Structure 1
Amino acid sequence: MVKKGHGEFKPISWDDALDEVFQCLHKNHSTAGSESVWPYFYAGTMGLLQRDGINRLRHAMKYSGQHSTICVTLVRAGWHAGVGAFRGPDPREMADSDLKVSWGGNPASTQVNAMTHIQKARKSRNAKLVVVLPIPDSNCPSG
């Protein structure tokens, strides 16, 4: 999507979208210096390439940096302040559980590693998986 007018947008191709992004990055870099560009990202449900791949661009172009991600850094600092050690259960223990609840994420779409253990429990003991999502998803159509 690209701005068409005040509060209006029109669809554009991926090639045009990439050209728009490049033009904006190049203009800022050329006029205000490389540190005027701050590639902002957060962990969310992204995989390693999607989440951390932006750092390759950041380093190559000498863009502004940040330590880790906004959400991960804050969570980790808060957890250490309130709990101490940053520990949790061994993910392999999911295979020994009779009920798994995924709150706000869909492991079938975003956590292949977790689904390995969940499927093992489902096959060996008919364990249940409950997914609670605020939005509809192809694996959980009612959201």
Structure 2
Amino acid sequence: MKTLMYCLVFILLEINCSAGDRNDLEKDKKDFIKTTEMIRSAFARGDVAMITSLHHPNVIKAFGGNNYVDGRDAMVKGLIQTFNSVKLEFTENKIENTLFNGDTAVETSIFTMKATPKNGRPISYSRGRAMVIYIRYKDSPTGWASIREMAQAAPDEK
């Protein structure tokens, strides 16, 4: 009888621990979604400080060709130069896949960015596919920060 009682207690503890893990994953997902929404919103406002707070100091971004950004300071410099001449906003952000693995999240998405030049030139659009790796980062307002990003041309629309 004691053995059965111990087994039941063990099973109940295991179920409770598993439920706790699911609750943490749900919170992680909500915080993660908030992170990606905050990044896109900050781009639309040209808010370099907010964008910076959601990126790890050792962030690396590879956008093809010679467009390679190594470190948050280089990212900030590029953002300031960009926002001085254009307003950027995401007009599309279709999540293809998100993977959570402990303190890491990997997301692939199809995006479209609208660039509105401040000098009155015509608006342009860039469409691409990005893979972004996020890690838990205590100094981020959401607890997540982008640390690696690669982008390429998006597939043709069907």
How high is the TM-score relative to the length of structure 2? 0.27
Determine which structure has the larger helix proportion and give its number.
1
How high is the TM-score relative to the length of structure 1? 0.29
Higher relative contact order (CA 8 A, sep 6+): 2
